[in-house]
Structure 1
Amino acid sequence: MGVTTAAVRRPELPGLLPASLAGSSAGAARRSGRDWFVDVLCFLIAASFVVNYGFEMISGADPVPDAMMVADIAAGVLATIGLWWRRRWPVAFALALLPVGLYADTASGASLIAVFTVAVHRRAAIALGVGALHMLSCMPYLAIRPDPQLPYWTVLVIVWLVIAATVAWGMFVRARRQLILSLRDRAEQAEAEQELRVQQARQVERTRIAREMHDVLAHRISLLSLHAGALEFRPDAPSDEVAKAAGVIRSSAHQALHDLREVIGVLRDDPAADAPVPPQPTLDDLPALVDESRQAGMRIRLHDEVRREAEPPTSVGRSAYRVTQEALTNARKHAPGTAVEVTVGGGPGDGLTVEVRNPWPVGGPSGIPGAGTGLVGLAERVQLAGGRLAHGRTPDGSFRVHAWLPWPA
């Protein structure tokens, strides 16, 4: 490689090769603005070697044969022009400069840039191999054209250090770029995972709200069915009772329509992230639920045996309310006219128990259609709350729904 003492006396050379000299990926067909800037800078650095060595050969004290001078300058010019294609073929370009470096001083700058480009764009083994070949090419060059001021081995070691520093710098730039890309990929992956977690959380919340509204909607529809059935089977009822039943039907239908709109809104593909959440029921809302069912004509007795040393957790109270609501809805649909017993008991440390019991209807359950998933969803709700749910026909001829929910002390 044609790096002579004059080149070694330029300690600022490595500092002039910024990390951007490697440009974008090797072989990129289209250069960005940054790539153009780097390529122009590399061209100017290599051209400065051609001008500097050419001027020294023309005006130097030691005469240089014209043919050798022309060949040297021509080789430097061609090597400098070839830098425009170093991105596409970095290894091939660096190897093509090996024979040029055996005699051409003017190609020294282009050779260093080529070695640096290989170190940036190729793995360490290839970069070290190319750097070693350029080191070996310096030995016959210095033997043919020795430096008149410094010993052979001194110049050789200096040139080797320059090439080694160039390779090490390129490998450092490559490692830094890989680290930045890795950190960027990790950041993008973490952002994508976070977005996925947010979407999953939104979906879970939408499903939970939809279940809540399903329970409420089923409760409203069962009230409508009960009152409409009463009007159908008692056409001779007093006008005030008919008006009262019609008012309840109208109110229940209005509420059912409102609940249905909310369910559809929740199940939209693009729900508003800041949409207000409907108020959730608690254990204190059980009396109102029972009164609403009584107004629909059900016979219900509520036994509140809860110890009120402290308020139960919100999720526990809401689950107890939903258990009672679903059990009353099933009693209205499948055992109309039967008396229902609702018992709520327990306290902090013992847990909260909810039991809804009604006699098994004569002739079996009514034929009112149902999805059959109410108790399944109820069992899942109770299980997610950390509790247990049991339901079925008892030996004494009743249908019983029993739930236990944890209530920490």
Structure 2
Amino acid sequence: MFAGRRWLLPSAVLEELDPDAGRPGRRPRRTARDWLVDFSCFAVAVIVGLVGADSVSGNPQVPTGLAELDQLVGALACAAVWLRRRWPLGLAVATIPVSLISETAGGACMIAVFTLAVHRPFRYVAWVAGISVALIPFFYWARPDPELPYVVTVVLAVLLTAAAVGWGMFARSQRRLMLSLRDRARRAETEARLRAEQAQQLAREAIAREMHDVLAHRLTLLSVHAGALEFRPDAPREEVARAAGVIRESAHEALQDLREIIGVLRAGDQDDTGRPQPTLAALDALVAESREAGMKVTLATRVTDPAAVPASVGRTAYRIAQEGLTNARKHAPGTEVTVSVEGGPGDGLTVAVRNPAPEGEVTPVPGSGQGLIGLTERATLTGGSLEHGATADGGFEVRAWLPWG
């Protein structure tokens, strides 16, 4: 966001904004603003030094040799101002003894204290500024001003030092504020990106569960009836026609479901398909479809008020029954499957799908086990629970409890 105005920022700020600025051996380049500020500080130090040099030259109490030494030390101090960014603490400490012997270096000393306040924490500033303020009375006691009273000169010097420290601390606080706002904006962008990625991940997981629940049911019907046609080529014509009709209908439904899921992926909205999601009321149609496919299914429904079942709970119950029937068709073909649904408001909804052990040798149908994992996640998201496992008679049972407030 600062790409077009980097020359307006201090190099210290750019050092923190630039992710490569902290590499060892690399120093940040001075910006145009840095050069302007450095030249202004040097000019102020020179102007104040010239005023001090003129005062020293016109003071009859200062010997000529001492005045020349004062001006020489002041000139060196003004030149050292250009080093203030690299060694702010060292320059400020060095100006403490300089301020005792040179009145011409007064401007450079103020600039050094100001730079220290900008670039270093307050504890360093307090020590250096405190020592400088403590030495001011001794300096003017040894070299009194010929035009101003002693007390006035001491108070003015203390006020100038305090002003330099205050201005430097204000500049530092503004710089810290800029960096904190930058960090806050960067954290907000990162958090927004993470929330978007998390939402996308949750959407993908929901679509994956929906795809498994829907397509696994249809494709299992295709597999079962195609296997029946393969192992019973001499079946009566009516059974072959019925099996072919189930295969055709299941393939058509699977293609329709696949189109809707692809539409969700393209549209980015799970509710744009236009097809209502199944609820508990669609359980009868699911059982009827399984019976038409040749399964033996017994449905036992003991729900106090089926119409009052929440849509999310009813949809989860439907998916549990659908996955249970699919698994029974895969792993226990020919057995009688029992689907029971019971409950009421306040007691919750219990859904159970159980089947006995299959008789004879069963041709295994490949499965990944992701369906039961997805059902457990569905039940947990609604605030319920799901258990599954083998029964005492060698069969299998899936039982879930879903909250119904």
Paired residue for 1:15?
Answer: none
**More deviation in 195-204 or 41-50?**
195-204
How big is each residue's C-alpha offset from its partner over 1:271-326, in whole Å with a ceiling of 9 and x where there is no partner? Answer: 77935456643223323322332332223343443333753223211210111011
Among 24, 29, 33, the alignment partner of 2:12 is: 24
Q: Please tell me whether residue 274 in structure 1 is matched to residue 268 in structure 2.
A: yes
Paired residue for 1:36?
Answer: 35
3-state SS in 2 of match to 1:153: helix
Q: Distance in 1 between matches of 2:332 and 2:234?
A: 24
What is the TM-score of this pair, normalised by structure 1? 0.78
In structure 1, runs of 5+ residues without a counterpart are 1-19
Contact 1:21–1:42, Cα closer than 8 Å, also in 2: no
How big is each residue's C-alpha offset from its partner over 1:15-66, in whole Å with a ceiling of 9 and x where there is no partner? Answer: xxxxx998637995421222222212212222221343455667x6969766
Q: 1:23 to 1:404 in 2, by over 3 A?
A: closer
3-state SS in 1 of match to 2:12: coil
Aligned residue identity for 1:135: V
**More deviation in 314-323 or 132-141?**
132-141
Q: Distance in 1 between matches of 2:228 and 2:247?
A: 11
Q: 1:34 to 1:288 in 2, by over 3 A?
A: farther
Paired residue for 2:129?
Answer: 131
Q: Distance in 2 between matches of 1:367 and 1:28?
A: 69
Q: Distance in 2 between matches of 1:144 and 1:84?
A: 30
Q: 1:248 to 1:295 in 2, by over 3 A?
A: same
Identity of aligned residues (%): 54
Q: Please tell me whether residue 326 in structure 1 is matched to residue 339 in structure 2.
A: no
Which residues of 2 match residues 383-398 of structure 1 at below 5 A?
A: 383-392=380-389
Contact 1:57–1:69, Cα closer than 8 Å, also in 2: yes
Paired residue for 2:3?
Answer: none
Among 60, 73, 76, the alignment partner of 2:74 is: 76
Q: Distance in 2 between matches of 1:309 and 1:321?
A: 13
Contact 1:24–1:35, Cα closer than 8 Å, also in 2: no
Paired residue for 2:89?
Answer: 91
Q: Distance in 2 between matches of 1:228 and 1:298?
A: 15
Q: Distance in 1 between matches of 2:37 and 2:133?
A: 25
Q: Distance in 1 between matches of 2:391 and 2:84?
A: 87
In structure 2, runs of 5+ residues without a counterpart are 1-7, 16-25
Among 313, 336, 339, the alignment partner of 1:316 is: 313
Q: Distance in 2 between matches of 1:292 and 1:253?
A: 14
Q: 1:55 to 1:155 in 2, by over 3 A?
A: closer
Shift of 1:223: 0.6
Contact 2:11–2:28, Cα closer than 8 Å, also in 1: no
Contact 1:333–1:368, Cα closer than 8 Å, also in 2: yes
Among 193, 196, 206, the alignment partner of 1:208 is: 206
Paired residue for 1:367?
Answer: 364
Greater RCO, 1 or 2 (C-alpha within 8 Å, sep 6+): 1
Paired residue for 1:351?
Answer: 348
Q: 1:276 to 1:323 in 2, by over 3 A?
A: closer
Paired residue for 2:22?
Answer: none
Among 87, 102, 120, the alignment partner of 1:104 is: 102
Contact 2:59–2:146, Cα closer than 8 Å, also in 1: no
Q: Distance in 1 between matches of 2:266 and 2:172?
A: 45
Which residues of 2 match residues 137-286 of structure 1 at below 5 A?
A: 137-182=135-180, 184-237=182-235, 242-253=240-251, 256=254, 274-276=268-270, 280-286=277-283
Shift of 1:88: 0.3
Aligned residue identity for 2:51: N
Contact 1:53–1:105, Cα closer than 8 Å, also in 2: yes
Q: Distance in 1 between matches of 2:282 and 2:200?
A: 27
3-state SS in 2 of match to 1:302: strand
Shift of 1:115: 0.6
Shift of 1:360: 3.0
Q: Please tell me whether residue 45 in structure 1 is matched to residue 44 in structure 2.
A: yes
Q: Distance in 1 between matches of 2:46 and 2:375?
A: 81
What is the TM-score of this pair, normalised by structure 2? 0.79
Shift of 1:187: 4.5
Q: Distance in 1 between matches of 2:61 and 2:68?
A: 13
Aligned residue identity for 1:93: L
Shift of 1:260: 6.8
3-state SS in 1 of match to 2:326: helix
Q: 1:77 to 1:228 in 2, by over 3 A?
A: same
CA RMSD after TM alignment: 3.7
Aligned residue identity for 1:85: L
Q: 1:41 to 1:281 in 2, by over 3 A?
A: farther
Equivalenced residue count is: 384
Among 66, 90, 114, the alignment partner of 2:112 is: 114
Aligned residue identity for 1:274: G
**More deviation in 278-287 or 103-112?**
278-287
Contact 1:306–1:345, Cα closer than 8 Å, also in 2: yes
